[in-house]
Amino acid sequence: MAVVVGLSALGAGLSGCDDPSGESGFAGLAESGGQAEASAFLQPKPGTRLVFPDDWGPHPQHRIEWWYFTANLTTPEGRPLGVQWTQFRQALQPRPAAKAPPSPATWPMDSAWMAHGAISFNGDHWFEEKVARGDIGHAGASADPFRVWLDDWELAPISESDAWHLQVQGDNWDYDLTLSNTGNITAHGDGGFSAKSSSGEGSMYFSLAHLNVTGTVTVAGRTQAVSGKGWFDREWSSQFLKAGQQGWDWFGLHLEDGQKLMAFRLREGDSTFSSGSWVNADGDVESLQEDDLTLSPTAWKESARGRVPVVWQLRVSGRGVDLRVKASPGEHWNAGLVSYWESPVAVSGSHDGKGYMELTGYADQAP
């Protein structure tokens, strides 16, 4: 998962119109009384299946989608370093997948794009946000060959290789990474349809949870070689959050025995909706339902932007999994159009490991 609240305001700003979703951003899509179903936007549902290679690329008949990458890396001195990259697309009007995009000469406004890049290292956090108007060449994505870009930020295949190259450059930092997949595609939920509430709202969602990552990271004027494990998510929908849901808590964890855990919960008042996937070391996937998972915050951090849970207990029933998940030291707010928390985590308890945590809906102070 990746944060999407605030993209409606981005699209409205680029198109010069009012935000159709109100202040709640994409959370407001569910409040519009079936707006997605009443329009030409497509909405995933149980039974919708993944199609490759098409699903690597954009879905112009769906309202929202993103490509999301995190990595837990290590410097030559053994110091942990985390990186994150996400690119979002919001459609302002749908376009059939088989229809050619409009000519850039017409200055079209069918979609808006946004990208986030971040580095967490030694208690510091660097973040940058970039935005672009769609269909004029500044940003886009393709399925075959797979490529995602916004200006000079790009994820693309390496010639004569199965690996990908990710290049992201901020104001005073950058990373240049090679991503090599060593496992199968993980389809979450029901064959790729991931429910986000008990009433059926959801998205299409798959991951590459077995990525080996190498390359260089530059921060504070120093370039270092890095290596480690990465996680790549792909997700799209047209009506994501249920009305009343305030945000989510997401975890992508690499356990030392080679197994992986993706788990999330969405918060609605005093209640939550949870789901996840358990990925064995051999790549087999087991969908985890709400009764299988316990996600509980156990310690909180007070900061200028909001009070955020930084230590969690994650349990998976029937597997003897009881994990303590702790954010790395520092402030890990991605302070873009909307602030959210994105941090590396350390895992202990029944299993040791590492991973990433994304928390939305906790910021109470505008950037």
Q: 60 with 238: CB under 8 angstroms?
A: no
Query: Is the predicted pLDDT of residue 35 greater than 50, yes or no?
Result: no
Mean pLDDT of 244-255: 92
Instruction: Check residue 367 and give its pLDDT.
Output: 40
Q: Is the peptide bond before 53 cis (omega within 30 degrees of 0)?
A: yes
Can you name the residues that pair with 155 across neighbouring β-strands? 148, 166
In this prediction, residue 268 carries a pLDDT of 87
What's the average model confidence in pLDDT over 154-170? 95
Q: For 43-89, what is each residue's pLDDT tens digit?
A: 999 999 999 999 999 999 999 999 999 999 999 999 999 999 999 99
pLDDT digits (tens, 9 = 90+) for 280-291: 988 899 999 999
pLDDT band at 240 (very low <50, low <70, confident <90, very high): low
Contacts of residue 213, defined as CB under 8 A and 6 or more positions apart, other chains included, come to: 71, 73, 177, 178, 179, 180, 226, 227, 228, 229, 230
Angle at 358 between CA 356 and CA 359, to 5 degrees: 145
Q: Quick check: 30 pLDDT over 50?
A: no
Confidence of residue 130 (pLDDT cuts 50, 70, 90): very high
Q: 213, exposed or middle or buried, with CB in 10 Å at 0-12, 13-18, 19+?
A: buried
Residue range 19-26: mean pLDDT, rounded: 35
Give pLDDT tens digits for 87-125: 999 988 877 777 777 776 666 677 899 999 999 999 999
Of the pLDDT bands very low, low, confident and very high (cuts 50, 70, 90), residue 23 is: very low
pLDDT higher at 104 or 304: 304
Identify the architecture of domain 7-359 in CATH: Beta Barrel (2.40)
pLDDT at site 198: 84
CA–CA separation, 83 and 254 (whole Å): 15
Backbone angles phi, psi at 18, to 5 degrees: -70, 155
